[in-house]
Amino acid sequence: MIKTVLYALLVALLISGCSSRGVPSVSPSVDNSNVYETPDGSAHSHPTMRAYTIRGVRYYPTVVRKGDIFDGKASWYGPNFHGKLTSNGETYNMYDDTAAHKTLPMNTVVKVTNLNNKRHTIVRINDRGPFVASRIIDLSKKAAEDIGMLKDGTAPVRVEVLGFAQKGSRSVPDSATLIASDEQQVIDALYIQIGSFSRYEGALLTQKKYDNLDGYTTIVRDTERDGKRLFRVWLGEFESEDEARDFISSSPFHDAFIVRR
């Protein structure tokens, strides 16, 4: 019951905080490849790390490490959202050093560099968005002003993970108090990857062909790695790794491997 209430609260917060920010995207324009690494027992259990859906698009918070770098386009949001709830329950203040990201864990601290002028700012992730395919981060008005993109509205940027703020933090911590350890997603279920495609059509055909195979469901994960877009087909859910391995050994997917969502 508690888990259900938390999940419902999360969905409500996501919709109120970010759902009207942009047009729906096919997927987050970020590198989600690290999601396939196996988290250890320290995986976070906060509901904001669970997968969520906005306008029919499914997003999956990622495993991320200090030093990870993502390139893409930044935008900013301000007066229309000032004073409203963010996705993690905070009140949005457009004068704070914060930003929204589709999949980075809450309280991730990142350095954002404007590639046009090399100006940078440091912000803490406390919201979800921007839900526009070509954009990877939505900065507060202050952060946008800091890197000189307020007038243009968008800019090409580099986002570098510096570490993680303590739970409950409402500001960007100094470097001495940043948590440098891995931030890991909640382990909700086990799947096996049965295919990877550069074209969505190939992934869709595989998904339809094997959906409901032996009672298991297929999903398509839209990812980007080394500048290339990959559509990965997962089959699950499995209750344990033993169950998943047994299935692989008796299935046509001998090259499949176990992944965690």
String of DSSP letters for 7-36: HHHHHHHHHHHHTTSS---SS-SS--GGGG
User: Looking at residue 118, what is its pLDDT?
Assistant: 97
| pLDDT-based confidence at residue 180 (cuts at 50, 70, 90) | low
Calpha distance 110→162 (Å, rounded): 5
| pLDDT-based confidence at residue 146 (cuts at 50, 70, 90) | very high
From residue 116, alpha-carbon distances to 124, 147, 170, 204, 206 in Å are 22, 10, 29, 38, 41
User: Looking at residue 22, what is its pLDDT?
Assistant: 29
- Give the mean model confidence (pLDDT) for residues 229-234: 90
Calpha distance 141→144 (Å, rounded): 5
Question: Is 116 in a helix, a strand, or coil?
Answer: coil
Calpha distance 88→124 (Å, rounded): 12
- pLDDT digits 0-9 by tens, 209-224: 999 898 888 988 888 7
C-alpha 175, offset from chain centre:
24
DSSP strand pairing (98-100 vs 135-139): antiparallel
User: Looking at residue 169, what is its pLDDT?
Assistant: 77
Sheet of 217-225: strand order equals 217-225, 228-238, 190-197, 257-260
34 contacts 69 by C-beta, under 8 angstroms: no
Element (H, E) at 70: strand 69-76
Element (H, E) at 5: helix 2-18
User: Looking at residue 44, what is its pLDDT?
Assistant: 33
Question: Is 112 in a helix, a strand, or coil?
Answer: strand
DSSP strand E in 57-187: where?
57-59, 69-76, 98-100, 108-114, 120-127, 135-139, 154-164
Calpha distance 159→111 (Å, rounded): 6
Q: How many CA atoms lie within 13 A of 114 on its CB side?
A: 22
Instruction: Quote the Cα angle for 44-238-27, to 5°.
Output: 60
User: Looking at residue 97, what is its pLDDT?
Assistant: 96
User: Looking at residue 58, what is its pLDDT?
Assistant: 66
User: Looking at residue 43, what is its pLDDT?
Assistant: 34
CATH classification number, 190-260, choose in 3.30.420.10, 3.40.50.2300, 3.40.50.360, 3.30.70.1070: 3.30.70.1070
pTM equals: 0.55
For the chain, domain boundaries: 2-177, 190-260
User: Looking at residue 103, what is its pLDDT?
Assistant: 82
DSSP strand pairing (135-139 vs 69-76): parallel
Calpha distance 147→97 (Å, rounded): 12
Q: Name the region of 148 (left: φ>0; alpha: ψ -120 to 50; beta: rest).
A: left
User: Looking at residue 261, what is its pLDDT?
Assistant: 66
User: Looking at residue 49, what is its pLDDT?
Assistant: 59
| C-beta neighbour count of 170 within 10 angstroms | 13
For the chain, give percent helix, strand, coil, nearest 5: 20, 35, 45
- Give the mean model confidence (pLDDT) for residues 176-192: 60
- pLDDT digits 0-9 by tens, 75-126: 999 889 999 988 888 899 999 999 999 888 888 999 999 999 999 999 999 9
Calpha distance 9→178 (Å, rounded): 28
- CATH code reported for the domain at 2-177: 2.40.40.10
User: Looking at residue 167, what is its pLDDT?
Assistant: 73
143 contacts 111 by C-beta, under 8 angstroms: no
Q: Which residue has the higher pLDDT, 65 or 32?
A: 65
